[in-house]
Amino acid sequence: MVNYPPPPYKIKMVEPINLIPREKREEALKRANYNLFNLMADEIYLDFLTDSGTGAMSQTQWSAMMLGDETYANARSFLRFKKTIEEFTGLPEVIPAHQGRAAENVLFGHLLKDKAGSWVVSNQSFDTTVGHIMYNGAKPVDIVIEEGKDPQKVLPFKGNMDTAKLQSILENDADKVAVITLVLTNNAGGGQPVSMENIKQVSELAKNYGKIFALDIARVVENAYFIQQRESGYKNKSLKEIVREICTSADAVWMSAKKDAYVNIGGFIALRDSQLADKLRERLILFEGFPTYGGLAGRDLEAIATGLQEAVEGETVAHRVQQVGYLIERLNEEGIPVVLPPGGHAAFIDAKAMLPHIPPEQFPAQALACHLYLEGGIRSVEIGSLMFGRHEEGKFIPAPMELVRLAIPRRVYTKAHFDYVVDICKQLKEKADEIKGMKITEEPELLRHFTCKLTPIS
């Protein structure tokens, strides 16, 4: 049996959680219209909805917040933030934003301006990125390697982009391509990492065709850890060196700091080109705030700076990734179909394999996520056809995989919590054939999974 790694921290403060009775959970789910985003915090026992902004900060981060300088323009905290991000990324222009999608608004709002119909080619853009691309009239084109869509295939870098496909797109349709991106790690595809070799190849192709290459580095430290562990030539390089090597391969990076910077809110863009940076700052002032705070308080800038420094030091990320790996390996040992090999931030249950009787258009992963809540008060999130499926010319196009993501908040839960999740999943597996598909009863135009209403198909 897989071992649980001893944590490199101890608990200083606790927050009570409570499992409400089954009848209450049934009522809550019905009231939530079978959309887990609508559940209230007090209705949830273990919350694996997201690893974004849900982590526990270190004592050093909390104390750094007390040094937050709230000067409107050019605060001391901004200078520290800027210097830390310059060192972290190796890129000289630093633009703060209040979270990842705010950075996407600034970046894609500018890069896709007057480019309706153009393409943003990626390994697999995540939901808010897809939203921003479409909002700007462009089209997301995802070309993750074929193995990246096979939950059972064990490969070290399943988040890689198919570079032969990229080459062919650039040879035949270069005019249509507005931006090339890579998401590190590939959140929508099981938190799978991208290799340094792949990053360099994509960078080279982008350069040859004069295309902007931007990296979504929400989980870049976890990705760097996998490169250190799995890619030849990186064993003796520090995480700091690897992160810099990744970021300097691109023209620009954007980060939701709510993940690998261990903070509850924040984000940024970093880039090389000062003229482009000035253009982005014009949009920043309009949507986020003055270029030295970008929607954040001085104390947030301090917490991010300390969080980024700590993320690439010591055992922080090694423990994090091993903890996630423990849950995935334990589920796998119990015969629960999960995406393998373990990725960086979440366990992904393969709902297509666990509920083969439910077709993708009846959202098997959403059905499973609802039952995880009913069975154990566990909140997860669907990453399948509810999030990424669409209709084109009246035809239903399913997502590449139907996954239930259990995203692990950083430094929040203990081994006993993970063992409880495994027990609940085992119980559900016994009753899997009783679980019914779902249908949508009301949905918005964009990013429907956040707010749509559903009901079980009887």
Binding site for ligand F0G (CB under 6 A): 50, 52, 99-101, 126, 128-129, 183, 187, 216, 218, 256, 258, 267, 407
Q: In a 3-state reduction of DSSP, which class is residue 294?
A: coil
Residue 455 bridge partners (DSSP): 439
CB 215 → ligand F0G: shortest distance, Å?
10
CB 99 → ligand F0G: shortest distance, Å?
3
Q: At residue 366, what are phi and psi to the nearest 5 degrees?
A: -70, -40
Decide if 388 is catalytic: no
User: 97, 295 in Cβ contact below 8 A?
Assistant: yes
Catalytic residue, from 162, 216, 251, 300: name it: 216
Chain CA centroid to CA 324, Å? 14
CB 253 → ligand F0G: shortest distance, Å?
11
Chain CA centroid to CA 370, Å? 21
CB 91 → ligand F0G: shortest distance, Å?
18
What's the CA gap between 82 and 48, in Å, rounded?
32
Closer CB to ligand F0G, 75 or 218, in the complex: 218
Catalytic residue, from 88, 126, 268, 418: name it: 126
Closer CB to ligand F0G, 191 or 389, in the complex: 191
User: 180, 145 in Cβ contact below 8 A?
Assistant: no
Decide if 32 is catalytic: no
Taking CB positions, which residue lies at the least distance from ligand F0G?
100
Amino acid identity of residue 81, one-letter, is F
CB 183 → ligand F0G: shortest distance, Å?
5
**Residue 334: count of CB within 10 angstroms of its CB:** 13
Q: In a 3-state reduction of DSSP, which class is residue 355?
A: coil
Q: In a 3-state reduction of DSSP, which class is residue 306?
A: helix
Closer CB to ligand F0G, 269 or 358, in the complex: 269
Chain CA centroid to CA 443, Å? 23
Closer CB to ligand F0G, 109 or 456, in the complex: 109
Closer CB to ligand F0G, 360 or 409, in the complex: 409
Closest CA to 165 of 180, 150, 153: 180
User: 406, 48 in Cβ contact below 8 A?
Assistant: yes
Residue 96 bridge partners (DSSP): 268
Chain CA centroid to CA 127, Å? 9
CB 260 → ligand F0G: shortest distance, Å?
10
Catalytic residue, from 82, 132, 371, 449: name it: 449
Catalytic residue, from 259, 345, 352, 371: name it: 259
CB 202 → ligand F0G: shortest distance, Å?
16
Task: Quote the tokens at residue 252.
Answer: 């620009």
User: 194, 159 in Cβ contact below 8 A?
Assistant: yes
Closer CB to ligand F0G, 371 or 449, in the complex: 449
Task: Quote the tokens at residue 291.
Answer: 């270029």
CB 405 → ligand F0G: shortest distance, Å?
8
Helix ranges (H only) for 41-195 are 59-65, 76-89, 100-111, 127-135, 163-173
When computed from its CA atoms, the radius of gyration of the chain, rounded to whole angstroms, is 21
Closer CB to ligand F0G, 295 or 298, in the complex: 295
Decide if 413 is catalytic: no
Catalytic residue, from 47, 127, 142, 300: name it: 127
Decide if 259 is catalytic: yes
User: 260, 219 in Cβ contact below 8 A?
Assistant: yes
Closer CB to ligand F0G, 90 or 267, in the complex: 267
Decide if 127 is catalytic: yes
Any idea which residues carry the catalytic annotation?
Answer: 72, 126-127, 216, 218, 259, 449
